[in-house]
Amino acid sequence: MRTLHKYLLLGVSATLLLGACGGNNKVDAKKIETAVEQAALEISAMDAAISGTWRADEAKRDGFRHPKQTLEFFGLAPGQGVMEISPGGGWYTNIIAPYIKQAGGSYNAAIFEAAMGERHVAANERFAKKFEDTEMFGDISMVEFGPTSGALADGNIDLIVSFRNTHSWMGGGYAEKAFADFYTALKPGGVLGIVSHRLPESAEQNPKAPTGYVQVSYVKDLAKQAGFEFVAASEVNANPKDTADHPYGVWTLPPSSRKPKEGEEVPEGFNAAKYLAIGESDRFTLKFRKPK
């Protein structure tokens, strides 16, 4: 049914395009055919990646993370050079890499800089092991990223995306460097997509972001200082239930759902059921562009 619906939509689109040509179909038919084929590839590759059986457990979070809408907002398209910053356990890698494998392009992972310590090196090793199947995920290129790392790429990336990482760069004292690195790595006209936990503008922003929450204005300023132009914001990952003032910061909420450890004093008013009912954090979704 999904496939039938897809091609019905494509057929309607082609009909509209033909009508818009004013009867000069002979001249424009090839362009229309190419556009329809491109749209079909994009839709099928995205749907296949999101519905993949390898995502069975991770797909349970789709209701809070809205991967299809988010990636479409950022402009993910066939043939792009895409870089994901600090992919961690690879929740989004499980979508983007198979998509690129089918639709064409390159997937580049900016993994932890080895100098950050053994814990980060171990995380890199787990990531490499998880995505070693080239038949499924394609050839994944990895480059180190951190407080003292070098260039991520030499201006050849179309799209850089990062999910829930801004607070880590702030906590490590290299947020300004991070945005400068992203700017250098992107082609002119390239896009930077950022999803992070939202701190209300009425709250006070700690430059180290120890709660995991970051203000939209703070991120916009970081991007502007690096040379980016702000393009648009989306509320697709918003959660109005989240008040961003929890005892263990954003990690009080799912999927971390942190609780007091044995022997640890329980914070006043702590209610695990309440935090579970809130769901995952309220997140902003911002799109920036490197000027042409």
> Right CATH number for 61-240+280-289 from 3.30.565.60, 3.40.50.150, 3.30.930.10, 3.40.50.1580?
3.40.50.150
The structure's pTM equals: 0.86
How far is Cα of residue 42 from the mean position of the Cα atoms in its chain?
17
Residues paired with 84 in a beta bridge: 109, 161
> For position 68, what pLDDT does the model report?
97
Q: Looking at the predicted structure, is the pLDDT value of residue 269 above 60? A: yes
The string of pLDDT tens digits covering residues 154-207 is 999 999 999 999 999 999 999 999 999 999 999 999 999 999 999 999 999 999
**For residues 199 and 219, is the Cβ–Cβ distance under 8 A?**
no
Dihedral of the alpha carbons of 225, 230, 235, 237, in degrees to the nearest 10 = -50
Q: Looking at the predicted structure, is the pLDDT value of residue 7 above 80? A: no
Query: Which are the contacts of 98, defined by CB distance < 8 A and separation ≥ 6?
Result: 48, 49, 52, 54, 136, 137, 138
The string of pLDDT tens digits covering residues 197-241 is 999 999 999 999 999 999 999 999 999 999 999 999 999 999 999
List the domain boundaries for the chain: 1-51, 61-240+280-289
What is the band of 273 on the pLDDT scale with cuts at 50, 70, 90? very high
